[in-house]
Amino acid sequence: MSVSGDPDPVKNLCELVNHAHVVEVLDALSCGPMSFRELRSRIGARRWQLAAALRVVGARGLVTRTENGSWDAAPPVDAVYRHTDLGRQVFDALSSFSVWTAMYDRRDAVTDHSWNR
């Protein structure tokens, strides 16, 4: 996922933010690295919900962790999660009102188009 190099970054961001707790994970990690427990406490998600959100951002290269292994397994107890450089760029993009406006304008255009069929 590339914010600047992708031909349609808004589409990719729309898909990303449609996953539960992804925006919250990126926001929490903007304060610095955190453990699974710290993230869960800050976000208020159930364990499985947070694990799913971390798999999404991990698979897209937005977040990394100190422990190696599969993102599909139970989260390691001692792992510490942090933004990658790309994750920071995505967080910065999602911090922009104009990006959210573009995502909703795109959604409205798709919805309007489907009504015209």
Q: What is the reported pLDDT for 111?
A: 46
Enumerate residue ranges in the chain where pLDDT < 70: 1-11, 106-117
Angle between helices 85-94 and 97-115 (to 10 degrees): 70
Its pTM stands at 0.78
Q: From CA 98, how far away is CA 35, in angstroms rounded?
A: 31
CA–chain centroid gap for 41, Å, is: 18
Q: Whats the size of the chain, residue-wise?
A: 117
Q: What is the reported pLDDT for 38?
A: 95
Domains of the chain by residue range? 9-115
Classify 9-115 by CATH class.
mainly alpha
Inter-residue contact 30 to 91 (CB < 8 Å): yes
CB atoms within 10 A of CB 80: 16
